[in-house]
Structure formats: C-alpha cells, structure tokens
Amino acid sequence: MMQAVEIAAAVRAGTLRARDVTERALAALQTEARPLVAVTRLLAERARREATEVDAAVEAGRDPGPLAGVPYGVKDLFAVEGLPNTAGSSLYASAAPEPADARAIGLMRRAGAVLTATLNMDEFAYGFATINARHGTTRNPHDLARLAGGSSGGSAAVVAAGLLPVSLGSDTNGSVRVPASLTGTYGLKPTHGDLPLEGVFPFAASFDDCGPFTSSAADMACVWEVLSTKSAAAGTGDPPRIARLGGRFAENCDPDQLDAMDAIAPDAPVVEIPEIARARSAAFLITACEGGRLHQAALAENAMAFDPATRDRLLAGALLPQDIYAAAQAFCTSFRARVLELIRDYDVLLAPATPCEAPFVADPTITIDAQRVPARADLGIHTQPITFTGLPSLAVPLHRPGRLPLGLQLIGKPHGEPALLRLAAMLEQRGLVGSSPPQCAFQGEAAQ
C-alpha cells in the first residue's frame, strides 16, 4: 500500500478516491490479514461512510485534512462508538457499547483518516507477545512462525504487512516499541501524557501512552502532528547532539544494533544511567500494582474469565503492599530527575529497542544474560527503563534487507519528538533505517 502522505496528497488532489482506497484496504484485511491473526473486528460499514465523507469534501472543494482518505486501524482498547471496548478480553465482550470514540480516533477522523478495524493485543495490554486467549496469537508477517511482539502486535503486523499505512497502539512498558522492532515498522512512545488517552482502556496510569505505527518517517511525523496538534518542524533544526546509552543497554543486544549506532554517531559519547535494573524492577512493580488494583473487583467477581497468564500477574499485583508501591513511586521521581541531569547536554540518545529478533511462536522465549526467559515478560528489557523516565522514544527499523527486522530506540528530551522525527528522516535518507516489505508470502495458513 502507498504511504499515508502519498494517499492523502492524491485524495486531496482528486486523483484518487478515498472510497477506492478504503475498499482495497477492507478486502486486504478480510483475506490477507487472516494468517496474521491481527484483526479482531472489521469496521466495513463505518469505513465506507467515513471514506464517502472525505470524497464529498474533496468534490465540494474543501480540504479533508492531512490524512485524507488514509485507512488505519486501532488496538482493541480504543473506544469505538457503538462497540464494546473489550481491551482484548472475553470479560468485556458483551459490555455496553461505547457512547463516543476515543479522542485520538476523533482527531484522526478530523484529519480525514478512515477507521477500518480493531486489532489484536495481549489481554489488557499485559505482555510483549500478543498471545491472546480469545483471538489467538498474532504472527509476524516476516515469518509466520514468529511472534509479532506486543502488546500492540496486531497494530504492528498490519502495517508491517502493508495492509494499512497507519495504526494506533498503546505503550506502557514498550508495547509499541517492541512490536515495531520485531516487525520492522516505526513506532512512537511519546513524552508521557502528551498524546490523548481519553477513551483508551487503561492499564497502568503512571506509564500508559498511546502511539502510532507507520512504515516511514514522513508518515510518523504527519500522524504525530495530528495527534499532538503540534508541529514536527518545531525547534532550531540544528544537528542533534547524540549520545549512546551504555551499561545494560550495551548488553543483550544484536551486533547489528551496535554497528548501526556506530554508523549513526561514531563519535557519540556513552552515557551510563545508574540503577537501570532497579528502575526496571520498580516499573514492573508499579505496573503490576496499578493493573491489579484496576481489575481487583472484576477478579473478585469472575477471575476465571481472565486469560490465565494475565490473571495470575494481576492477582499478584493486587496483593502488593501500599508501602512497597509508594517506595517504587518515590524512586521513580528521583530517578527521573537524575536522568534528566545526565542527559541535559544531548538531544537524542541511542539504544536497542529489543534484545533480539522475533522469537518463535512455538518457543516464546529469549536469552537474557545467558538464561532462557519468557518473551512475554522480557522483550521489554530495553524499553521498560525508558518508560520509567517518561521520555519520548521512537523505535526505528534498521535497514537490513533479507534478514528479520530489528530496531533501535531514538530517545529524546521531554517534548523532544520533533528532534527524533528529524533524525529518523535523516537516517532514512542515508539508508541506515527503513521498513522493508516481508520476504515471505504471508498469505496462507500460519505455521503452528
């Protein structure tokens, strides 16, 4: 599929009809997406209605917006008017329909984008694998035998497969950046709280953010502008001051990631953030506690309706003492202050996004510190500490055609997304990063 900015330009110019783009996207999602186990609901009637509105605006001489006619999907925890917000769980499959769209969907619609589908996720966004007891396991379009990552795996998979140019996900501890890295897409976790969360089913309020997936830096900049209502051209435009994160970030990563960082900034100083392991542990604790408390009443009423893998972790989180939670939050506050002081002289920090390529569905484990550990919990080893800081982080796909995808994080200062977007565009022009289409014919039965 064309890039979002290309579709929008053609629709606004009247050389392409939004309805035609929408019909092609719906057909692809109906058929080609099936092996990916990525789509939970196809919103055909709504999509056709929105596309017709875009075409009518063009015919009337009005500008439909910067995303005119661009089809997109949302993770299955965004409120969609008239449908229950299930957050990927059987527990809320029959919940009351939502009275209104999530605010992010409203902003996308006002920009001319066309909502086509809701997309698979880990139940309640608790995991890095998109292994869902109700809908199934989302597959990686680059190799159907491998995971797409999570918890926004469905959102990443449809963009990586070229079925949609844009999708929206959510990121609490890496749930956008992990699947972006494993599927070869761009994925943004914004400065905490900068993008709208109204109407997004919560997980852990201390860390929750919504974020887009795209297949190009230009598309990411456009979608970020729509959701943030800010300009990606903000700032001085001077070359960014780049540093690399050392310590734990230099361990448990692929040699290609280290080589890419050398190529991006060969003389970049190394910044080592202290107590990274403690920060990740505290992030785990806060996430578990807030998630457990959020679902405590539902667990007490009908615990067996939860995915067993989710239920056990939520129960454990609900039982955590308040004083431990308070200590973790206090550490979070002091940690963020120390990190901001350490990085004050830099605009962008480089770090791996995931420690490895996508693991196999049949063996969902990865190697961390020479030990085999569950991918569902540990694929976020490099993203979770960044979430803890509240800093923005853009996952960019390394240019490695013929090989499985792998990404880096471009990490910025608070509200420093424009610098990240400019650097991503520059690296894309240099051929160091960029999405590559899947080499496999993913149309067919998924490997079991």
- Catalytic residue ranges: 75, 151, 175
Helix axes 217-228, 103-110, angle to 10 degrees: 110
17: helix, strand or coil: coil
CA 138 – CA 144 distance, rounded (Å): 9
DSSP state of 445: P
Q: Determine the angle formed by the axes of helices 4-13 and 217-228, rounding to 10 degrees.
A: 70
Q: Which residue has the tokens 């990631």?
A: 257
* Number of Cβ within a 10 Å radius of residue 385: 28
Two tokens at 68?
A: 């005119």
Alpha helices by DSSP H, 343-416: 375-378, 384-389
Read off the amino acid at residue 324.
I
Block residue for tokens 């919103």: 43
DSSP string across 151-191: SSHHHHHHHHTTS-SEEEEEESSSTTHHHHHHHT-EEEEPS
* Residue pointed to by tokens 């789509």: 39
Contact of 318 with 286, CB cutoff 8 Å:
no
The Cα 156–Cα 179 span in angstroms is 6
Closest CA to 118 of 57, 167, 181: 167
